[in-house]
Structures are given as structure tokens and as C-alpha cells.
Chain A
Amino acid sequence: AQSVAQPEDQVNVAEGNPLTVKCTYSVSGNPYLFWYVQYPNRGLQFLLKYITGDNLVKGSYGFEAEFNKSQTSFHLKKPSALVSDSALYFCAVRAYNAGNMLTFGGGTRLMVKP
């Protein structure tokens, strides 16, 4: 069975500071990893994915994520946070043989203060 853990329910950061949202996963075989963001009353918006290759993945809106196989982590990062980044962030994993079935973490609310 696959699982995802997002250990922080909420992350607070000041605008302009770097941000990190943590994610660890458990899956059999090579993982497909994703980050999604959800704004109030909206669906999920794709940010970035890791499939294979370079451990540092760049995505939309200046976000990036670092894949660490030994620590089974896939932390989301951004060098300089914006107030408009405030939202709910979800990490998800998909096993290579699980069709399109995503397993999501519980979500982390990011609050960026001016």
C-alpha cells in the first residue's frame, strides 16, 4: 500500500522569505510524485511532478521540489514567498502500476504574511 505524510498542518512564513512544505512517502517500486495546490472553493491545481531524472524539479509559479530517495521525501520549496501563495498544498504519490490512482497527504496550509 502507498501512503503520504505531510507532517505540518500549517506553515507560516513572511513574504519574501523562503518556504518549505514537507512531504514523505511510502510506495513499492519507483514513485511518481506530485504537488498540487488548492485555493478556496476551487479544485486542485497541478504544480509539479517527479518521475525520474534530476532530483530537483521545477514547476509553476516559481515552485520547485527536491526528491530524496534515501529519505523518501519530496519537499516543496520556493525561494521567495508571496502573499498570493497562501493556500492548501497537497503532496501525492502514484505507484508505477497503480493506474492513475493518486494517494494524497493530508495537506498543509501555507500562510504567507505581508
Chain B
Amino acid sequence: KAGVTQTPRYLIKTRGQQVTLSCSPISGHRSVSWYQQTPGQGLQFLFEYFSETQRNKGNFPGRFSGRQFSNSRSEMNVSTLELGDSALYLCASSVLGSTTSYEQYFGPGTRLTVT
């Protein structure tokens, strides 16, 4: 099976712009979660989607949003980019939802640099 794929792998944007990142989960996985990784804050949970519905949301401003499509692919959007949004954005997929113990599998990430 192919793993979690994320596109693009690298992105450079300017302050004030917006960006959309894409994630394709492992085939058959219906849960997709997004995380932000920075040297200062470490790994932080952004949000989780399951069956096209946002189920959990982390403590991030409303500039960060996401969605999931019927084929379980997910996108996240960051509007009005700030320098502090520079980070590695990781997507993870899991087979099922909250009552299961299935582990999440991570993609390689999208490295976003805001200048």
C-alpha cells in the first residue's frame, strides 16, 4: 500500500498570502489529522477530519482551516500568512475513529517558509 502523501513538499510564501496544503491518506483510511511542527513549539495538533466532518480542533487561530473530501483526501488552508506560520506541516491518517486504538501514519510533511 502507498503511504500518506503530501503535496507540495516545499513551499515559500510571502506574509499576507494564503496557502493550501494537500494530503492523501492511505487507501481505506478515513481519519485525517494535521499537525504543525516547529522548533519552538514542537508538534501541535491542528485538527482532525473523519467522514468529511471536523471532529477535533486544536488551539490555533481561525486563519487555519481544513476540509475533507468524500475520498478522504484532505486539504488545509492558512490565510493571511505570518512569519510564525513557517513550519513543517504533517498529515496523518488512521483507519477509524475515536473508539479504536489504531495508530496514525504520517506523511513526509510540507515545509512552509513564510518570508
Contacts and interface: CB of A to CB of B under 8 A. Distances in A.
B101 interface: yes
Interface of B: 4, 31, 33, 35, 42-45, 48, 50, 55-56, 58, 90, 92, 94, 97-99, 101, 103-109
Contact of B98 (A34, A42, A45, A97): A97
A46 B101 contact: no
A49 interface: yes
Interface stretch (A10-18, A19-27, A70-78, A102-110): A102-110
Range, interface on chain A: 20 to 34
A34 B42 contact: no
Nearest to B94: A100
A39 to B, nearest CB: 10
Nearest to B109: A43
Interface of A: 32, 34, 36, 41-46, 49, 51, 90, 96-107
Contact of A101 (B45, B99, B106): B45
Contact of B45 (A44, A102, A107): A102
Contacts of A51: 101
Contacts of A100: 31, 33, 48, 50, 55-56, 92, 94, 97-98, 104
17 contacts: A32-B101, A36-B106, A42-B108, A44-B90, A44-B92, A45-B106, A46-B106, A49-B101, A49-B103, A90-B43, A99-B31, A99-B56, A100-B33, A101-B33, A101-B58, A102-B45, A106-B42
Contacts of B101: 32, 49, 51
